[in-house]
Structure 1
């Protein structure tokens, strides 16, 4: 019996020390009554799923809370579905991912476009659409159709599917020419557009949506062609068992709505930080922040927060203006009230060093005063909300969240409850009454995005310093190959 054979395989599983990332995961599923095939049987016997991937914001990366990313989430859940551990090899570009799948298996998950013409590979069912999009540098005449691409210096990434779309367009528009590279990622490509090295680029729409706040000089133009499909790749010589199980798993995620929710979580961000706002912020990062960055770093060492988070709070409060004063008398770079400043022994709220140090200590105090049941990022986001609206109103919102059947320890539920403090039917049931509860929601949301932009700028500066240290005769990475007109 197949069930007996699978049970025997599972009992013989060996432990495995992962070279990259290994996670112990979930429960063993019920198996279909068919041969598992050599690929699936091997995964079950060795007790781990080996995935070839890429280290990108849309696929897999190390976040503040550990590994994350849209496809990482799917990989992790699929390994959980199989009842095995997950091992990732992320040291690839797309071409290398496909070669590694052919040579090593078990599957490739790296924003791969479904392409049944590729030798030695099989693909899963489509996971999500990939809509190619032309983006261009702000200030150029907005391109609205393919004819407007003539004369533009255009770049794209080889092997991602966008290059295939360009070749299809070139068949009807022989004058079309572009550059392509296979050893850079989308952020670097958009950076070249923003800096003027390229006029335009072709990327996928969800990639641009994820990166757009970091590149306010880049505008979206128009969709190119029909959408492609993101899919997983499998070695063709390992049978259909693993592919069939992956398809069953993906179909289940689609049927229960989880696939759509994950897509929204990772790619469906609101555009509340408009381009103009992002441009202003990045301008202030270069013009104002250098004067105070050392003070934020010092406060971070004493408070335990990331200095970029404290800087994001300072920008949200005052736009890094040390003499800022609100109509209600809140003053300084971190906008402390008189009472809070007195409690913190801050005798001059307009002194940037005292204000930043006081604001960091106050945020830490708020975070420490929250119930122990609030953990992780939920605890940080609620502390930030309390910095804006006060701890009492935050507790009221937690109570409202509980009354509505939500989790008072989850920021997602408290975030929904906070605006209800503006409605009499709800604030009349609370201890502290009315509050402009919509403001802390926007406050936390903005700080999170300011922090993301600062983290991106910080990483870019570190990369710049590494590249600057490269020996003079070493060629730079990311060299483009030009694809000339076909006629």
Structure 2
């Protein structure tokens, strides 16, 4: 070996050995936060239960923060552990005390929070709305508010109001502890609270359950929603979070999640929602067993019910001038295709609709994400598979993603325009109707999911209440039996004593 090369190798060896001993002897060398998480095998996300963040319906977990958090854990090659808290105060306390690795609960990045915590890049935006009960006094601006405004303690809404008080000294604020935005909106619906502030995304969703909720005005424009981490942590998790969110924007994951949770809630119809809620209670019970009988692995009974309501409002004899019939409004050709003889028979119609929709889902190309295949299939149910494929081709012509429902949905109305439909294989179609059709079904489905969950919860509470009544009754009966036995024993003892005295 040449002398120069040998001396270079020796030098590298001694430097490496020196660094090894320095690292071994240096008590200040620390393991990074990310290394600790990876060694532990999980990352802990703190959140608050809600349909937009994290929820469990007895069968599946869902929520935008949950889904994104689960993917972040996979990105770090660890598992996700969810810790839920009853209030924002509890959540922030856990974050401050390093009991969680980050907070993911649809949290708006306010100036105060940005000062105290580090944040991920935003993954969606919300504005703040002042909400009141429809039919009562509506303020048009903050100066018109004539009653206390209720907000959640430690919320971004409380921070907004506190900033406004300086110029609006008449404002009164009521703080609600240990509750969530849905509870606050329920209080508006029940007229227990006159005014409240919530996020635009929450209001748009909850109006489907409580149609009396109405927006008075926007109290703050769009603000970013982000994950928060403790500022005392080193840069390792923070850097990973930034890179992860960037990747999720690039691969369209965030766009897909936004479409899944927000893509159908833009338009609210007060009258339609009230009628639908009434028919859920009065009409649905007649057909619920049939919907449940014909659900399958692709199509749940609640989805079937939502499609049927959109098609016929659950009317077995529904007919249209175009020739479609029955609860699922099947064409004659479709009925023949799925083996249905009588389209006006509720059982046959529901069976045929379930079979046809399931086949449409299976027919779609695998390039479409599983979570979005249903929306494509519903559009196909409405305007036909060929026209749906035309809408995907138009989307590709525009250099957009033909596998993204958000992109294809926006391009469906182009099937009306000669400029575009003359380039397609199947020609003109009422694409805008298909767009509204899918959005309506998604809204009906969301309302049905909520209604069934609330019904199950009420039944469970009633069962627990009945069990408690029976438990107390059993205790009372046992106590009564003990008293009876004691009385009989005393009586017997008295009779024995009396007999003894007589004998004496």
What's the TM-score once normalised by structure 1's chain length?
Answer: 0.73
Report SS of the residue matched to 1:222: strand
- Counterpart position of 1:214: 209
Distance 2:240 2:38 in 1: 14
CA contact (8 A) 2:298 2:361 kept: no
**Structure 1, residues 383-406: CA drift from partner, whole Å, max 9, x if none?**
222221223333444444455555
Q: Is the 8 A contact 1:161 1:228 kept in 2?
A: no
Map 1:24-39 onto structure 2 (within 5 A). Answer: 38-39=32-33
2:311 is equivalent to residue 317 of structure 1: yes
Paired residue total? 436
Paired position in structure 1 for 2:156: 161
Q: Is the 8 A contact 2:207 2:268 kept in 1?
A: no
Helix, strand or coil: the match of 2:130? strand
Map Cα deviations across residues 221-258 of structure 1 (whole Å, 9 max, x no partner): 2344788775544445x444247536854995899898
The answer as to whether partners of 1:130 and 1:230 remain within 8 angstroms in 2 is yes
- CA deviations on 1:309-361 (whole Å, 9 max, x unpaired) are 11111111112222222112222221122333344443432232222222222
88-97 or 66-75: which moved more? 66-75
SS in 1 for 2:92: helix
Runs (5+) with no aligned partner, structure 2:
1-15, 21-28, 469-504
Give 1:140 deviation, angstroms: 0.5
* CA spacing shift, 1:199–1:424, aligned 2, 3 Å: same
- In structure 2, do the counterparts of structure 1 residues 79 and 89 end up closer, same or farther at CA, with 3 Å as the change threshold? closer
CA radius of gyration, larger in: 2
Would you say 1:366 and 2:360 are equivalent positions?
yes
CA contact (8 A) 1:105 1:235 kept: no
**In the alignment, what sits opposite 1:85?**
78
Long gaps (5+) in structure 1 = 9-34, 475-487
Counterpart of 2:493 in structure 1 is: none
Q: Secondary structure at the match of 1:283?
A: helix
Distance 1:252 1:349 in 2: 50
1:421 aligns with 2:415: yes
Q: Determine the C-alpha separation between the residues in 1 that align with 2:220 and 2:424.
A: 54
Aligned 8 A contact 2:392 2:403 in 1: yes
SS in 2 for 1:110: coil
For residues 129 and 373 of structure 1, the distance between their equivalents in structure 2, rounded to whole angstroms, comes to 28
2:457 aligned residue (463, 467, 475):
463
The SS at the match of 1:213 is: coil
| Deviation of the 1:67 alpha carbon | 5.7
Deviates more, 1:52-61 or 1:444-453: 52-61
Native 8 Å contact 1:349 1:355 kept in 2? yes
For 1:178-189, what aligned pairs fall within 5 Å after superposition?
178=174, 180-182=176-178, 184-189=179-184
> Are residues 39 and 105 of structure 1, via their aligned partners in 2, closer, same or farther at CA, if it must alter by over 3 Å?
farther
Contact 1:124 1:246 in 2 (8 A): no
Aligned partners of 2:347 and 2:425: how far apart in 1? Answer: 36
Structure with more helix by fraction: 2
TM-score if structure 2 supplies the norm length?
0.71
The 5-angstrom pairing of residues 399-438 of structure 1 reads: 399-405=393-399, 409-438=403-432
Shift of 1:88: 2.8
